[in-house]
Structure 1
Amino acid sequence: MSNSRKAWSALLLAAAVTVSVPAAAGAANAAPKAKSVKTVSAKSKAAAKAAAAKAAAAKKAAAAKAAAAKKAAAAQPFTAVGTVTEVDAAARTITVHVASGHKGYRGTDLVITVTSATKVVKDEVKGGFDLLAVDDVVTANGTRTTAGHLAKNVNAHDPEPEPEEPVADPEEPVVEPAPEPDPVVEPEPTA
């Protein structure tokens, strides 16, 4: 039997013993002597008080554990590097196709909320949400919460254009000058 059950059993037993039974004509009172009632009553009060203190301590420990778990789940950092696929100005969110960063996000589309407190830098120009556009390459750092991903910093730049292969100008045929003929030396007539 657990300690709390023993405490309650003792309390109920003490209450039952202290109940006075009306004395019938010629019958003796069934209640025990007052001294033993006081002793049992004091012990049961102490046991009840100890049980209440133990329950309060357990409740406090459970509340502290729940608060710690909530705090741990509430603020987990994230990093995502990828290409912006969608910009929602009304909701102030960007959707990023993640190429690198957190292992769980790679290859997925991640919706990131950009608040007014978020630091946005695009091509070394500080600004706000309005700088972000589709096909920008971004690095977003922030906090993952139950409400979603909140960005603290967003660094963006325009995608690097693919180098174009140089187009060769059509070459004009190079005309080489005709070699000059060697001077022909005619033999002089001997007479």
Structure 2
Amino acid sequence: MTCRVILIAPAITPSLRRARFDDGDSIENPAAVALSLPAGRAVSSPSVRCRETATALGLDASAEPGLSGLDAGRWRGRTLEEVSAAEPEALVHWLSDPGAAPHGGESVRGFCARVTEWLETTGRTTGRTIAVVEPEVVRAVVLHALGAPETAFWRVDVPPLTATEVTGGPGRWNLRLGQVGGPGVSGEVR
């Protein structure tokens, strides 16, 4: 049994441009969002930007709570610069220790476990799932697929509107880079 999961990062938002922890803002220029995607079950993170990106892509995606972004606790809506100025030690601790959650939100370790649970459950199905998800969800899936440590979480860059594909099933995932899904399907922005 093979499962394919194509993860699409959301379109750019004003928060992303300002390196701000998600504050629920809308995507910029929805009319410019276009990817050529294969058919499949569509899901999204429940955030505004992921739901709007899915809609702009023409997907009828259901929101999956297990794909929510990393809970930044009291830092939500603040820029990295603001947090760094107000709580420099806490920010360094959070960025260097996957088990830390000084902001009162979710640790990277807990977040990765939640995303892994979603992926492993999804992997028990056959067919293709297209998931419009927060960049940190893509990071967690990549780490799980490669068996990489959680300390590598912040070392995976996920630009807006990029596609990442994993294939396989519970306990064994392969990461596919480059063209997504086969002929006529690409992760390029039109």
> TM-score interval w.r.t. the shorter chain?
under 0.3
Structure 2 length as normaliser, TM-score? 0.23
Q: Which structure has the bigger radius of gyration?
A: 1
* Greater relative contact order (CA < 8 Å, ≥ 6 in sequence): 2
Structure 1 length as normaliser, TM-score? 0.23
- Whichever structure has more helix as a proportion of its residues is 2
- Whichever structure has more strand as a proportion of its residues is 1
